[in-house]
Amino acid sequence: MRDKVKISKYLDAAFAITGLLFCLIGIGVIIILFVDLFMDGAPRLTLKFFSSFPSRFPDEAGILSAWVGSLLIMFITALAAIPVGVGAGIYLEEYAKKNWFTDFIEINIANLAGVPSIIYGLLALGIFVYMLGFGESILTGGLTLGLLILPIVIIATREAIRAIPQSIREASYACGATKWQTIRWHVLPYSMGGILTGIIIGLSRAIGETAPLVTIGALTFIAFLPSSPISSDFPFISFKWLFDSFTVLPVQIFNWVSRPQKGFHVNAAAASIVLMVMTLLMNGFAIYIRYRFRRKIRW
C-alpha cells in the first residue's frame, strides 16, 4: 500500500516536471525567435525606418506605407467585427430559443472559426472586390479581416455573457427591467472585460494575416499614403482613403524576405520586430483590460 502511494507521488512529481518542461519549450521558442530577430533587425529600427517608403535600396527602405496600412485596416476590421460579433453573441446567448436553427448557426460559427484564412480571401475577392465593386482597397481588406475574426468575437462574447450568473438577470427583472434594460445595464457591463479581451485577441490575429490580403490584392510597392480623412473643401471629411490601395506589414515582410539582397533580409527582421511588438502590446492591453474589469465588478 505504502509503495503504491510512493509510486503515485513520484508520478505526480514527474508529471509536474514534464508539464513545466513543455511550458519552457513554448516560452523558449518565443524568446529565441525574438532574440534572433532583435539581433538581426534592431540596428535598422530608426525613426527613418518608420517614416520612409519602400525603396530599391535596402538602407533607404522603410515601413511607412506598411504600418499606416496595417493600422487603417485594423480600424476597419474593428469597426466591422465588433458591432456584428457582439450583437450576434448577445442574440444567441440572451434571445435565441433553443431549436434546430440556433444549433445550426452555432455549429456554423464554430466551423467558421476553423476555416483557413485564405478561404476568406477568396470569398472576399468574389464578394467585395468584384460583386460589390469595392476594388482592392482598404475597405475590402478591413472587411475581409473583419469576417475572419467574426467567429472569434462571437464566441468570446458568448463565453463572457454565459459567465454572468442567472441571479443577476433575475434580480433585474424583479425590479421591473425589460430584457434590453437588463442586458444594457447589467449583462454587458459585467461581461465587458471578457468581450474586449476576445476582440483584442481577434485583432491581434488579424494584424499578422498575409494570405487573405494577398488574395484580394494587397500591393507590395506603395510609396504614398492613403488620402487624408480631413479635406480642405466642404464638408471637410473625406472617405476616399477607404478606396485607396494598401500594403500591410506582413506583406512587406514577405516581399523583403524573398529578395536577394542581405539588406532586405535585415529590413524584414526589423519589420518583424515591429509586428511582434504590436501583437504583444495588443495582447498585453487585453490582459490589462481583463484585470481592470474584474476588479471593478463586485456582486
Partner 1 sequence: MVKKLILLMIAMLVLAMANSTKAIAEEKIIKIDGSSTVYPVTEAVGEEFQKFKKGAIKVTVGISGTGGGFKKFCRGETDISNASRPILKSEMELCQQNGIEYIELPVAYDGLAVMVNPKNNWVDKMTVEELKKIWEPAAQGKITRWNQIRPEWPDAPLKLFGAGVDSGTFDYFTEAIVGKAKSSRGDYTSSEDDNVLVQGIAGDKYSLGYFGVAYYEENKDKLKLVPIVNPKTGKAVIPTMENVMDGSYQPLSRPIFIYVNFKSAERPEVKEFVEFYLKNAAKLVKEVKYIPLPAKAYELALERFSKRKKGTMFGGHQEVGLKIEDLLKREEKTK
Q: In 3-state terms, what secondary structure has residue 136?
A: coil
What would the grid cell of residue 244 be? Answer: 485607396
The Cβ of residue 91 has, within 10 Å, a number of other Cβ atoms equal to: 15
Closer of 200 and 218 to partner 1 (Cβ) = 218
Cα distance between residue 85 and residue 259, in whole Å: 39
Whether the CA torsion 29, 155, 200, 189 is positive or negative: it is negative
Answer yes or no whether residue 105 interacts with partner 1 by CB under 8 A.
no
Looking at the Cβ atoms of 93 and 136, the one nearer to partner 1 is: 136
Tell me if 58 contacts partner 1 by CB under 8 A: no
Which one of 74-82, 100-108, 165-173, 250-258 is the stretch in contact with partner 1 (CB under 8 A)? 250-258
Q: How many CB atoms lie within 10 A of CB 212?
A: 24
The reply on whether position 45 binds partner 1 by CB under 8 A is: no
Q: Is 288 in the site for partner 1 (CB under 8 A)?
A: no
Residues ≥6 apart with Cβ < 8 Å to 73:
138, 141, 142, 145, 206, 213, 246, 248
> Is residue 235 a contact point for partner 1 (CB under 8 A)?
yes
Residue among 232, 234, 295, 298 that touches partner 1 (CB under 8 A): 234
Q: Is 242 in the site for partner 1 (CB under 8 A)?
A: yes
DSSP 285: H
Judged by CB under 8 A, the residue of 153, 207, 222, 278 near partner 1 is: 222
Stretch that binds partner 1, among 12-20, 88-96, 179-187, 221-229 (CB under 8 A): 221-229
Per-residue mark of binding to partner 1, 112-141 (x: CB under 8 A): ------------------------------
Please state the closest distance from residue 216 (CB atom) to partner 1, in A: 11
Choose one: 7-15, 33-41, 117-125, 254-262; the region binding partner 1 (CB under 8 A). 254-262
Cβ closest to partner 1, residue 49 vs residue 190:
49
How many other CB atoms are there within 10 angstroms of residue 129's CB atom? 18
Report if residue 259 touches partner 1, rule: CB under 8 A.
yes
Q: How many residues bind partner 1 (CB under 8 A)?
A: 33
Stretch touching partner 1 by CB under 8 A, among 17-25, 98-106, 187-195, 257-265 = 257-265
Residues 6+ apart with CB under 8 A from 72: 138, 142, 226, 241, 246
Contact residue for partner 1 among 237, 295, 298, 299 (CB under 8 A): 237
3-class DSSP assignment, residue 230? strand
Residue 247 has phi, psi (to 5 degrees) of -135, 160
Of 54, 74, 70, 73, nearest to 62 by C-alpha is 54
As a dihedral over the C-alpha atoms of residue 41, residue 247, residue 196, residue 182, rounded to 10 degrees, the angle is 180
Q: Is 77:206 a contact under the CB 8 Å cutoff?
A: yes
Instruction: Enumerate binding residues for partner 1 (CB under 8 A).
Output: 53-56, 217-224, 227, 231, 233-240, 242-243, 245, 255, 257-262, 265
